[in-house]
Amino acid sequence: MKSSLLLISFIFLFHLGYSQNDTTIYYKANQKPALGKEDALAFTKIKKKSENECKFLYFGKKGERWIRSKHTRILTVENDSTIKILNQFTRNEYYKTFKPVGDYFYIKEYHKNGNLRIEGLSKSNIYNHWEGQVKRYFTSGELASISRYKNNQVRGNKNWLKNGKPFIDNIYTNVDVMPQFPGGELELKKYLTANLKYPQEAVEKRFYGDVYVSFVIDEDGSVVGTNISKSLNSDFDQEALRVVSGMPKWTAGKLDGKPVKVCYTVPIKFRMH
């Protein structure tokens, strides 16, 4: 019985022409399909490991170089409606269920704690190719965003913070031209180093660590919506927010030639010298 279920799963797994051989999917900004590597800003390699298991490797272009993401994922067919997903870098494990709905699959992904992670219609059950409304959730179960897709491309979204408060709408993460701090990444590092003040209590207790601050670069380059995506403690968090909120205007990001809101995250490193 188990072997027949795996066979059924494998047929589902390679729906829509996805072959049993290794496959590469190329993307432009906002998940637009690209003709090949020369035309792409990112690509995903899907490598078959066994009859019911495959590996996802992700690559992004930075300047003229291709950078491989650390977040390699292993997908394993559990049965004819469930796939286990393991992030080899974080060791985070979650599950995806899929149910055929006409020409699509209704996808539900779950966090390790059992809470819903993401749900929506996809053209494929192995890699997410979204169409229509897609909902995403925080690990705690609260709604994080509702996005509208057309042919896997974001057309708009509504967003919420972890505390349930409405956040900024129509934010993009993958655009043709990413926002840039005045002078580039080196100047951003200089700005953070020059303006960061080590909390006195942390100095006395010799605390150190990293705070990750997320924010949005608005259409006019303003820094808005600063919030902590990875906390250290309240003193470090508040100082990180202060420094990021005080940044000068950036050059705004662009999609299809127009300025758009773009989500950005920077690590604020607190080190004692």
The secondary structure of 130-173 as a DSSP string is EEEEEEEE-TTS-EEEEEEEETTEEEEEEEB-TTS-B--SSEES
Q: Tell me: the pLDDT tens digits for 88-132?
A: 999 999 999 999 999 999 999 999 899 999 999 999 999 999 999
Nearest to 135 by CA among 143, 123, 127: 143
Q: Residue 18 is which amino acid?
A: Y
Burial class (CB in 10 A: 0-12, 13-18, 19+), 220: exposed
Mean pLDDT of 251-266: 96
Number of H helices, E strands in the chain: 4, 17
Nearest to 126 by CA among 234, 222, 16: 16
Nearest to 156 by CA among 140, 143, 145, 144: 145
Q: Residue 270 is which amino acid?
A: F
Q: Tell me: the pLDDT tens digits for 136-174?
A: 999 999 999 999 999 999 999 999 998 999 999 999 999
Q: Residue written as tokens 């700005």?
A: 191
Q: Tell me: the pLDDT tens digits for 193-207?
A: 999 988 887 777 777
Distance CA 224, CA 181 (A): 14
Distance CA 51, CA 74 (A): 13
> pTM of the predicted model, to two decimals?
0.83
Task: Give the pairing of strands 171-172 and 258-270.
Answer: parallel
Q: Which two tokens stand for residue 265?
A: 């995250």
Residue 271, pLDDT score: 79
